[in-house]
Structures are given as structure tokens and as C-alpha cells.
Amino acid sequence: MRTFEDAARAEGAVGFYRDPSSDGLVVVVPEGDAATFEIPPLNHIPARMVLTTDTQAEIDATIEATRRAWSRLTHAAGDSLFGFFRPSTGHVVVSTSLPASVLISALGVMAAHVVVEDGRVTQQGRFNDFSPFWGGAYVNVSAYPAGGACSTGFSVKNAAGTRFMMTAGHCWYTGTAVVSGNGDSLGTVGNVHYGGGSYDMEWIAGGSYGASIYSGTSSTDTSYLAVGGATDPVEGRDIYCRSGITTFQKCGQTVESMSAFECFANNSCTLATMMAYVPDASSGWGQPGDSGAPIYLRSGSPAKAYIRGMHIGLNVAASGYCRSDLSTDPCPHDQNIGHHWSTIASVMNVTIVP
């Protein structure tokens, strides 16, 4: 295919697209080259020619004129422009947050070669997530209210194949509508297990949820990992990571116990099916907003995230008694709290979306 495209461009073709009626290839050719243009041979794929009024030089000039026009215009923070040549229509298309009339005026005579559309360039990230939504991202009742935010966990599915996004059960009540950082609807909270003891988990339903998690180490780092699978962690190994909206990706986490539980006033205790885990010296503790964040193992090349659980909270052990008869037991220290994967899968009756 690349050899075909190179040969066609050498004869003056300016673009290609699939023919929806035949699944063949359409070659876009300027009107002035139509008489001499010969479609190169293409094995087993039919190809036909359509005409456009602009040559490659004119298309390039239109794109450059648009770039220069943008630099001359006054625009506010958040304004953007995205341009491209659309072979199926033979036009340069410009999608911008500016009023179309402003850009058309700036382009002058070159505006005849441009189709202007309303749009905004956005970079997907944990604070600007959009469908299909990923784990490790901002979720709340509205975009950036004061407090109350949690982190999305990871995508799961039930026996019917319906997808859900996991998060911590203490985040919201059943029926709460939640959104991403840019205000896009993630769906509605359901299957809440919290308040009566036993567990601390819920899912978000009704949206489109992808099989990736954000793994950036700062607010502007948009790195991500595809999810490769899920199983329980192993105690005593400092190989796990957590990725939430407050502390971002923090690796070097060690699971100390798989039989932890928590108790709150006016609520019964959870079952002893939670995990206590701690960071190494170079990592960090979970903080408010990290609730729901995925806990995972980074493995493979390219690396994937293998889910091990979900972050719930933090036990702050400010003081305590060191027993001298337990020389191998460290003095009281803080612990992160999480649910490990098998408990989540059993309670929610789901499997991971890889």
C-alpha cells in the first residue's frame, strides 16, 4: 500500500480514502492532472479517481495561511485550532474555538479554500478524561467543586459483558451522577457497598469505559498503561504501584497484610478482607482524592498494568506501643488501605476488562 501511495503522489495525487460502497480505494487528484494521471496497480484492491480543485501546493499554502492567521489573532486562554486536509471532500478543514467569522476574515481570499468548524483541541489526561473513560482519573459530582473528588479505578464487566468503572464505596451514594474533570458525564453510581460494614466499593455505570489507566507522575504527565489482567498481590514484595489524582503514580508499594479491616463510628466493621500496604522511602502515602485509585503491577515490554486492587484510605498511626517481645515487628506506622482484586471480583461479580 505504501508503494502504491508513493507512486500516486509522485503523479500528483493529494489524498486517499476508502470507498464505502466497494471497500476499494479512492485516489484524490487535482483537476489539472486528471488527463494524464494513471492509477498505479494495486493488488486485489479496486481503486478509482475523484477530482478536487486544489493542487498539493495550494493545499500547503492554505494550511500555512491558516497557521499565520492564528498567530495574528487575539485569543484567550483555552482557545485552540486544529486543521487538516480532508481527502473525501477535497478541502482544508479548520476546527476552532474562535468564531468562524473571525478566522474567515483573517484568512482573506484564502478562506475560499477552507471549511471552518466549531471545535476545541483537548489533551486527554487524568484531569481531562473523556469517553471511553480510564482508571486513575478525576471523578466528582461536577468539574472541580470544592472537595469531594475521588479517583476512578479500572474497568470491569459482568457476565453479560456490560462495563462499569470501579471506585471506592465511600465516595458517593447510589444514583449520584458523576463527571470527569472536563465535565463529561461518566455515568451514575450504583452497586454501593459501604455504610453497613463489610466492604468499601462501588461502580459507575452507564458510560463507556476503556481498558487503560493513567500512570503519569505529575499533574501534566499524560502517560498511561493498558490493563493486561488482574489477580491478588503477594505480601512482602515492594513491586506495586498506585495511581490517583492527588499523589499520581507511586510505585515501590509493599503489601503487609491481606486480612486488614476498618471500623467507623455508627457503622459495623468491614470484613477482614482488605489489604494494608506501605510505600518505600522514595514513594508516598495515599491522600484525599486518591480513593478508588488502581493498585497494580507494571510488567512487560511495552509495560502493562496488572491490577492488584483499589486504594481506599490511610491509617495514620500517630503513636503506639512497641512490644519488646516482638523484635521482628516494627513499631506502629502508617498504612495505606485497599481492597485486593479477588474481593472486588467476588463482591461485584465482575471480571477485569483487559
The predicted-structure confidence for 168-180, as pLDDT tens digits, reads as follows 999 999 999 999 9
Mean predicted lDDT score pLDDT of the chain: 89
Predicted local distance difference test score (pLDDT) of residue 292: 97
The 10s digit of each residue's pLDDT in 75-95 is 887 788 889 999 988 889 999
Distance CA 122, CA 171 (A): 27
Cβ-proximal residues to 259 (8 Å cutoff; 6+ apart), any chain: 272, 273, 274
Query: Is the Cβ–Cβ distance between 4 and 29 less than 8 Å?
Result: no
Buried b (16+ CB within 10 A) or exposed e, 285-309: bbeebbbbbbbbbbeeeeebbbbbb
Indicate if the pLDDT at residue 319 is higher than 70: no
The 10s digit of each residue's pLDDT in 255-299 is 999 999 988 777 778 889 999 998 887 667 888 899 999 999 999
Indicate if the pLDDT at residue 325 is higher than 70: no
CA-CA distances (angstroms) from residue 137 to 70, 133, 204?
Answer: 32, 8, 13
Q: What is the pTM of this model?
A: 0.72
Among 15-19, 109-113, 259-263, 267-271, whose mean pLDDT is lowest?
267-271
Indicate if the pLDDT at residue 192 is higher than 90: yes
Name 53's bridge partners: none
Indicate if the pLDDT at residue 351 is higher than 70: yes
Indicate if the pLDDT at residue 330 is higher than 60: no
Predicted local distance difference test score (pLDDT) of residue 21: 77
Instruction: Give the percent of the chain with pLDDT over 70.
Output: 92
Distance CA 119, CA 121 (A): 7
The 10 Å Cβ neighbour count of residue 22 is 12
